[in-house]
Amino acid sequence: MKDREYRLASAARGGLLFMHNVPGVALGDRVQVHDHAGRIRNGQVIRSSLESVLIQVFEGTEHLDLERTWVRFLEQPFELALSPEILGRVFNGVGLPRDARPPLVSGLRRNVNGAPVNPAARAYPREFVQTGISAIDGLDSLVRGQKLPIFSGSGLPHNRLAAQIVRQAKLPNEESGFAVVFAAMGVSHTDARMFQEDFESSGVLSKVVMFLNLADDPAIERLILPRAALTAAEYLAFDLDMHVLVIMTDMTHYAEALREVATAKGDVPSRKGYPGYLYSDLAELYERAGRIKGRHGSITLIPVVSMPSDDITHPIPDLTGYITEGQIVLSRDLYNQGIYPPVAVPPSLSRLMKDGVGKEYTREDHPRVANQLYASYARALEVRNLASIIGAEELGEADRAFLKFAESFERNFVAQGENEERNILDTLDLAWRQLSLLPRDALARVSEADLDKYHTPISHQP
Amino acid sequence: MGEILEINGPIVRVRLPQVLTGEQVRVGALKLTGEVIGREGDDAIVQVYEVTDGLRPGDPVEPMGHPLSVELGPGLLGQIFDGVQRPLYTLYDLSGDHIARGLAVDALNREKAWTFEPNAALANGTAILPGSVLGTVQETAHILHHILVPPDIGGTLLELAPAGDYTLEQPVAHIQDEQGHTHKLKLYHRWPVRTPRPYQHRDHASAPLITGQRVLDTFFPLLKGGKAAVPGPFGAGKTVVQHQISRWSNAEIVVFVGCGERGNELVDILESFPKLTDPHTGRSLMERTVLVANTSNMPVVAREASVYVGVTLAEYFRDQGYDVVMVADSTSRWAEALREVSGRLGQMPVEEGYPAYLGSRLAAFYERAGRVEALSGKLGSVTLIGAVSPPGGDFSEPVTSHTKEIVQTFWALSKELADARHYPSVDWTESFSGYVGTAAQWWSENVDVQWEGLRGIALGLLTQAEELARIVNLVGPEALSPAQRWALEGSTLIKEGILQQSALDEIDSYCSPQKQFALLQLLLTIYAQGQKLLALGVPVQRLLSLPLLARARRYKTLHGNDDLARLNANALEIQVAFDALRAEYTKPGSAAK
């Protein structure tokens, strides 16, 4: 039953091709669609019955007739060819070269859908990754094998932040740095070039695999692109023992493509027209990050989600937040005040931080300092709110200290240069300089010993 | 033998006449396991527990002759199973890092021999009732596994095996039923997961489940045999609350169902529980725990099954006379699995795409909680605690609102509290417990008669403070009277000194009922003493600047559960501080002027 070719699809619309009287086609199989101009498009079987077959065409169903279109069933699942040569290469969503170099030849091919990792095979991620960014390292530390998204909004510098993380991310006690898998879905040419130049100038390009689907490329290809990218990441991490950092930008474009196909298929919509299986679908991607027992490599995943209308309750960031291990939220407010990176501290969180910092990985006081900064900043924001109503002059002395703290915390701790790299000890010392703006008895989250060691009231500071 | 007609994601239409709805089938060349969820003419609609990629129309389908059921017997404890009770460690040995498809594995180890001690009260020829105890196996140091006659079998005992070592497949008893049919009973039996296990009658739940979490035990108690929900948006700390309950609660068995959640959270349990000790028995926590895992990347249909697998395991231990807690994280993912299947079947959605039967399925599931007298005559309970993950944190969505109607204890988690790192972020205005009266009886008999009264004062203070905080946000703290400012301070003291509890702090992670009460009493004493001084004309600023207040917030972490004497000694310190202040203002011609 190899390579059967059929003509006369019964319908073509919304990226879907409906075929009749094609018996015995397996679900998930790869197809090639030859259009009237001789161009080959890639597709996949997403529903199959005795009478009909439904095909999702990654290049879309524009400029397609039914009479001259031939569909070839390849009798194999969607696979990606893998070899160490993928490093330094640029591919499109279905794994074909985009860099004018020949396709990869390799006997090793893997199904892009992967298979679920057995929870009993996972190792708990707990090694601190230093990004050199105080707001992340100090407050929401990233650990190796974590999935930590950046929740952003249109026009905010999420891609610049992601690029800075790629440049600076370091694994303490590891000789080699990260290999990078970069999955771009619907990003602009400008952003894609920014990343490319950034990788080049920082010298990591030879350790980057790029999967590119730009804003003017077919939208449906975005459905398979992250799967191909994660298949490459799994190969690098678990076959070649590398630590892999995967940047996926922008998940919102991915989810929109999913909605487009779901609507065309007639799936029952749940919230905002997104299909009910958006959660499971996103989880299939995000859960491919992690560490595995007895393997040296790891996959650390940083998806970028631009929140439509800055709404964190929108289904895409909302469902993402339920799957990922925390989130870094960017704030338009801080950005407008000229603060880069504009990390909104209160809603940001790293769930795996508790086991990845402290004496063994960073410094003994780290978890308590982070907790204290959060609590003090929350209090300071309340005071700032109050000051905007009754005026700062009306505040008591203690409250004024909090106002000063908030200001300094945002300007000196959260804000930093795009090329500024702070090591974790500097970040913690900087944190204590902010906390020292507050009186000792306002700091209940740190221990007495921490206070004795690190708290330097203003009058004692040089 | 039938054949596949259509494949639509996890839903497969097959031609298979005479198959029963609910029956299990094996689908395709890979023999994927599925379950018949409907019949239409000669066709059956099958939901498949595994990814259906690669299945093709025309592939064979065979019925298995029984509904989805679980194996119940020694060897469950300390294990981690997938959503249809396949042991994940065994799958790991068979297929490595990733779960391969079509693996058929026994849930319980068939090779291991268990030391069986027959029930001395049973003699050959005696009548055996369904569900009675044939004997025991010491499964772990603290858990005695009672070998039960299956609830659907009874008759005359023909033979009971002598004490000795038996594997699961060796018969330990022969029973002849009324029809003259002989049943060979083994150390394990099977039970269909969608059928609640029968019992003699329900009993009133009377004792609280002590979780060691102050905001839960003291403010919104849950009873053994009760039902509770923990709703909260992402990042509110649902998982930590559920892990804390699984760690510290005074249940004898904990069944934790990871339903559509993160893989690493289960790894956290797998890695940390064996090292933690049960505060009630001093044994490793893993010895009393069973895990059922369908993580979010595992097939969605098995997610629907996983909560039923979990609750059936819980009922089985209940029938042996144990208090069992089952934690389901998260019931929203289970509801979404229902929604996905119903959507693929083209059923008419009602709210947000959910099928019309969502409410009744949820209610029927939670009804499997309860304290019962089992068929064996033993008293046991199943406490159900379900996490709910409302989209966008909106508690009016269907799963949260239906659940809220069903449960008696509602621990609502708040994003605002979590953002301020107030953990556990249980919101005292949204949460409720219908069990306070019953719990009060237990507290007054076992801890102190004043519990209910003090709890009421503390909650009242918290509610009053909400109102005052609104005023402060509008016009500033100067608008409040001294008594109101003191009330605000009192509520902050309760929030920081009692409600906030760090899961990571060694001393504070588990708080005994006695310590919970002592803290409540101490902090309310401070508040009451301050009120008296205010009445004497002491300026509220003097009270607010008492160094005692900062120290009182640390009481919880300064004194462990076995150090109550020193905790209570703080009462003296409080008395001294307030007496000194009182003396200052009651002296004739004192600073009061």
Q: Do B5 and A50 touch (CB under 8 A)?
A: yes
B109-187 has which CATH code?
A: 2.40.50.100
Question: Within its chain, how far is the Cα of B53 from the centroid?
Answer: 34
Q: Do B476 and A386 touch (CB under 8 A)?
A: yes
Instruction: Name every chain B residue with its beta carbon within 8 A of the beta carbon of A23.
Output: 57-58
Q: Which CATH class is domain B451-586?
A: mainly alpha
Q: What is the CA radius of gyration of chain B?
A: 28
Q: Do B268 and A270 touch (CB under 8 A)?
A: no
Test mutation, B4, B46, B56, chain A, max A CBs within 10 A:
B56
From-to residues of CATH 2.40.50.100 in chain B: 109-187
On whether any CB of chain A is under 8 Å from the CB of B545, the answer is no
Q: Do A386 and B473 touch (CB under 8 A)?
A: yes
Test mutation, A110, A118, A284, chain B, max B CBs within 10 A:
A118
CB-closest option in B89, B96, B99 to A116: B99
- Which candidate, B493, B505, B490, B523, places its Cα nearest to that of B561? B505
Instruction: Name every chain A residue with its beta carbon within 8 A of the beta carbon of B271.
Output: 124
For A352, name the nearest residue in chain B, comparing CA atoms only. B264
Check whether A257 has a pLDDT greater than 70. Answer: yes
CATH of region A4-76, choose from 2.40.30.270, 2.60.40.60, 3.90.550.10, 1.10.3720.10: 2.40.30.270
Q: Do B547 and A315 touch (CB under 8 A)?
A: no
Test mutation, B234, B415, B556, chain A, max A CBs within 10 A:
B234
C-alpha distance from residue A178 to each of A87, A185, A205, A237, B336 (Å) = 12, 22, 11, 10, 37
Contact A111, A78 (CB under 8 A): yes
Structural tokens at position B75 = 């060897």
- For B467, the 3-state DSSP assignment is helix
Residues with Cβ within 8 Å of B286's Cβ and at least 6 positions away in sequence, in order, are: B78, B273, B274
- Which candidate, B331, B330, B313, places its Cα nearest to that of B322? B313
From-to residues of CATH 2.40.30.20 in chain B: 2-67
- In whole numbers, what is the pLDDT of chain A averaged over residues? 92
Give the closest-approach CA distance of B6 to chain A in angstroms: 4
Check whether A2 has a pLDDT greater than 60. Answer: no
Instruction: Name every chain A residue with its beta carbon within 8 A of the beta carbon of B8.
Output: 47
- For B496, the 3-state DSSP assignment is helix
Q: Do B476 and A114 touch (CB under 8 A)?
A: no
Q: Do B99 and A115 touch (CB under 8 A)?
A: yes
Instruction: Name every chain A residue with its beta carbon within 8 A of the beta carbon of B267.
Output: 119, 122-124
Cα–Cα distance measured from residue B288 to residue B324, given in angstroms and rounded to the nearest whole number = 10
B227-236 in b/e form (b: 16+ CB < 10 A) is: bbbbbbbbbb
Q: Each residue of A217-250: pLDDT tens digit?
A: 999 999 999 999 999 999 999 999 999 999 999 9
For B55, name the nearest residue in chain A, comparing CA atoms only. A26
From-to residues of CATH 1.10.1140.10 in chain B: 451-586
Give one word for B84, left, alpha or beta, with left for phi > 0 and alpha for psi -120 to 50: alpha
Is A457 buried (19+), middle (13-18) or exposed (0-12) by CB count in 10 A? exposed
Q: Do B267 and A287 touch (CB under 8 A)?
A: no
> What pLDDT score does B182 carry?
95
Q: Does domain A81-356 have CATH number 3.40.50.12240?
A: yes
Cα–Cα distance measured from residue A458 to residue B165, given in angstroms and rounded to the nearest whole number = 73
Residues with Cβ within 8 Å of B290's Cβ and at least 6 positions away in sequence, in order, are: B76, B77, B78, B79, B81, B253, B254, B255, B256, B313
Instruction: Name every chain A residue with its beta carbon within 8 A of the beta carbon of B97.
Output: 117-118, 121, 238, 292, 295
B201-429 has which CATH code?
A: 3.40.50.300
For A375, name the nearest residue in chain B, comparing CA atoms only. B420
Q: Do B547 and A276 touch (CB under 8 A)?
A: no
On whether any CB of chain A is under 8 Å from the CB of B5, the answer is yes
What ipTM did this prediction achieve? 0.90
Structural tokens at position A354 = 């508790």
CB contacts < 8 Å between A and B, how many?
Answer: 209
Q: Looking at domain B2-67, which CATH architecture does it have?
A: Beta Barrel (2.40)
Residue A288 exposure: Cα atoms within 13 Å on the Cβ side? 28
Q: Which of A14-28, A237-251, A442-456 has the highest mean pLDDT?
A: A237-251
From-to residues of CATH 2.40.30.270 in chain A: 4-76
On whether any CB of chain A is under 8 Å from the CB of B58, the answer is yes
> What pLDDT score does B375 carry?
96
Cα–Cα distance measured from residue B327 to residue B503, given in angstroms and rounded to the nearest whole number = 18
From-to residues of CATH 3.40.50.300 in chain B: 201-429
Q: pLDDT above 70 covers what percent of chain A?
A: 98
B 72-111: CB under 8 A from A: 80, 88-89, 91-92, 95-101
B 387-446: CB under 8 A from A: 389, 391-394, 415, 419-421
Q: Do B55 and A390 touch (CB under 8 A)?
A: no
- Which candidate, A384, A399, A401, A451, places its Cα nearest to that of B544? A399
Give the closest-approach CA distance of A395 to chain B in angstroms: 9
> What pLDDT score does A177 carry?
81
> What pLDDT score does B593 carry?
39
> What pLDDT score does A457 carry?
80
- For B349, the 3-state DSSP assignment is coil
Q: Each residue of A277-310: pLDDT tens digit?
A: 899 999 999 999 999 999 999 999 999 999 999 9
Check whether A459 has a pLDDT greater than 70. Answer: no
On whether any CB of chain A is under 8 Å from the CB of B506, the answer is no
For B51, name the nearest residue in chain A, comparing CA atoms only. A115
Q: Do B53 and A113 touch (CB under 8 A)?
A: yes
What is the identity of the amino acid at A97? P
Q: Provide the angle, in degrees to the nearest 10, between the axes of the packed helices B451-475 and A366-390.
A: 50
Q: Do A77 and B91 touch (CB under 8 A)?
A: no
From-to residues of CATH 3.40.50.12240 in chain A: 81-356
For A277, name the nearest residue in chain B, comparing CA atoms only. B340
CB-closest option in B264, B297, B340 to A325: B264
Instruction: Name every chain A residue with its beta carbon within 8 A of the beta carbon of B57.
Output: 23-25, 48-50
> What pLDDT score does A390 carry?
82
Mean pLDDT of successive 10-residue stretches along chain B, which has 593 residues? 92 94 94 93 94 93 95 96 95 94 93 96 92 96 95 94 96 94 96 96 93 97 97 91 94 94 90 87 91 91 93 98 95 91 85 92 96 96 96 92 96 92 94 96 96 97 93 82 95 95 91 96 96 93 91 91 92 94 77 43
- For B134, the 3-state DSSP assignment is strand
Structural tokens at position B98 = 């990733």
- For A374, the 3-state DSSP assignment is helix
Virtual torsion, Cα B334, B337, B339, B344, nearest 10 deg: -170
Give the closest-approach CA distance of A176 to chain B in angstroms: 24
Instruction: Name every chain A residue with its beta carbon within 8 A of the beta carbon of B391.
Output: 271, 313, 315, 318-319
B 296-315: CB under 8 A from A: 296-300
> What pLDDT score does B592 carry?
43
Structural tokens at position A24 = 């015995």
Q: Which helix (DSSP H) or strand (DSSP E) does residue B31 occupy?
A: none
Residues A36, A41, A46, A50: is their CA dihedral positive or negative? Answer: positive
